[in-house]
């Protein structure tokens, strides 16, 4: 397999947008193309993550229209759907096709416009990520799933629920603080633990500030071979490892605090990269809810099972901590346009490894990992990136 480089990255501001999904992606793609120092005519294929284009805008075959918007209407263009992991699935597939020799230079990413649906429709469509046969009829929602995980976590590790809620609040506080340093984040305002603990109850014990928002936005990545990249940049960022794994519905999963798909996927990525979790300098992970960040830090091997909540409370996941988590602000503060999230995580890690993140820069970051989750813990994608210089 050939070594693959993330040659250029682009991202729109996350939040509320009047642009269509295709227009949002075109904006991110133009930035990625310029960052890569190429022209759109050099792109051989397009891989686009999008989940609800049909519900949002009545638009199918979005990848083809995105290619046309970029002035390359005849290249292969494919839409990928993996719920909230759609953008990461698109980037991983693009990576594999470049690594295999099928293409030399491709564009991958994702786009979503969730806010146009409104809260009621967005909530209904998001719930489609649950199993329609056995889960949806129970009325389960994603906040409900992660509320259950919080209760299971507290019980499993004999942690008083009130204490766990305090630890979860520190995740939200940290990510909002990081978001203040990200000019593209949806929320750029610090909060306190009291803000979290006094906010509205959503799905016990999760409160409003434990939950990420609905968002609009797009992100894009230009991928090419290391051989080509060396002629175009002095700072190639190599995709050193990639993993993806799946799981069935919640009833098929033995312990929701131990996301088996994550452990399988990240193991594949670590093995491909030839490293362990102790060598990761910075991580962008799927903090759709504060408890999700805690269990992910354990699943990725940064902390032992049951220790992730204490690590969050002790500041070990802050910018100056032992393993900085979500310096971008994460889904919690940066925002979560679901089709774009995985590509936006890659955007942040590439910028971190190049030292281009300003006040949120992780010092001496050389290796980073992304972790993107889709559905009820049923799709996980992990990508490991490292400096190539």
Q: What is the dihedral of CA 268, 211, 294, 196, to 10 degrees?
A: 160
CA distance linking residue 91 with residue 117, whole number of Å: 26
> Out of 167, 176, 286, 336, which one is annotated catalytic?
336
Average pLDDT per consecutive 10 residues, the chain (389 residues; last block may be shorter): 97 98 98 98 98 94 97 98 98 98 98 93 87 89 96 98 98 98 98 98 98 97 97 96 95 92 98 98 98 98 98 97 98 98 99 98 98 95 97
CA distance linking residue 66 with residue 70, whole number of Å: 6
- Note if 84 is an active site residue: yes
pLDDT score, position 139? 87
Give the containing element (helix H, strand E) for 11. Answer: strand 4-11
> Out of 84, 211, 283, 288, which one is annotated catalytic?
84
Task: Set out the domains of the chain in order of their start, with CATH numbers.
Answer: 4-119+213-387 (3.40.47.10)
Give the containing element (helix H, strand E) for 109. Answer: strand 105-113
Q: What's the predicted TM-score (pTM) here?
A: 0.98
CB 286 within 8 A of CB 265: no
CA distance linking residue 375 with residue 258, whole number of Å: 15
**Angle between the 86-100 and 341-353 helix axes, to the nearest 10 degrees?**
60
């Amino acid at each position: 397999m050939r070594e693959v480089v993330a040659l250029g990255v682009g991202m729109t501001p996350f939040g509320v947008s009047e642009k269509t999904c295709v227009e949002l992606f075109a904006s991110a793609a133009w930035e990625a193309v310029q960052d890569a120092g190429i022209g759109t005519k050099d792109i051989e294929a397009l891989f686009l993550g999008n989940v609800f284009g049909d519900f949002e805008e009545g638009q199918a075959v979005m990848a083809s229209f995105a290619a046309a918007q970029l002035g390359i209407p005849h290249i292969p263009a494919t839409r990928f759907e993996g719920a909230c992991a759609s953008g990461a699935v698109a980037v991983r597939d693009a990576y594999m096709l470049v690594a295999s020799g099928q293409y030399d230079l491709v564009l991958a990413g994702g786009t979503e416009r969730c806010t146009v649906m409104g809260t009621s429709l967005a909530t209904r469509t998001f719930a489609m990520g649950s199993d329609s046969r056995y889960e949806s009829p129970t009325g389960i929602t994603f906040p409900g799933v992660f509320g259950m995980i919080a209760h299971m976590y507290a019980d499993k590790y004999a942690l008083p629920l009130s204490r766990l809620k305090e630890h979860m609040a520190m995740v939200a506080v940290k990510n909002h603080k990081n978001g203040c340093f990200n000019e593209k984040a949806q929320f750029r305002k610090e909060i306190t633990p009291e803000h979290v603990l006094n906010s509205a109850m959503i799905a016990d014990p999760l409160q409003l500030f434990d939950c990420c928002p609905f968002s609009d936005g797009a992100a894009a990545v230009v991928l090419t071979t290391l051989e080509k990249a060396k002629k175009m940049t002095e700072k190639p960022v190599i995709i050193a490892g990639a993993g993806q794994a799946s799981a069935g519905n919640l009833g098929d999963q033995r312990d929701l605090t131990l996301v088996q798909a994550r452990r399988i996927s990240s193991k594949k990525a670590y093995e491909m990269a030839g490293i362990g979790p102790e060598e990761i300098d910075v991580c962008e992970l799927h903090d759709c809810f504060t408890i999700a960040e805690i269990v992910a830090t354990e699943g990725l091997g940064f902390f032992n099972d049951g220790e992730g909540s204490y690590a969050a409370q002790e500041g070990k996941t802050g910018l100056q901590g032992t393993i900085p988590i979500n310096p971008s602000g994460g889904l919690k503060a940066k925002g979560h346009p679901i089709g774009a999230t995985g590509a936006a995580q890659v955007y942040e890690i590439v910028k971190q490894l190049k030292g281009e993140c300003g006040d949120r820069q992780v010092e001496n970051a050389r290796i980073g990992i992304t972790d993107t989750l889709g559905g009820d813990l049923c799709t996980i994608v992990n990508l490991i990136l490292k400096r190539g210089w």
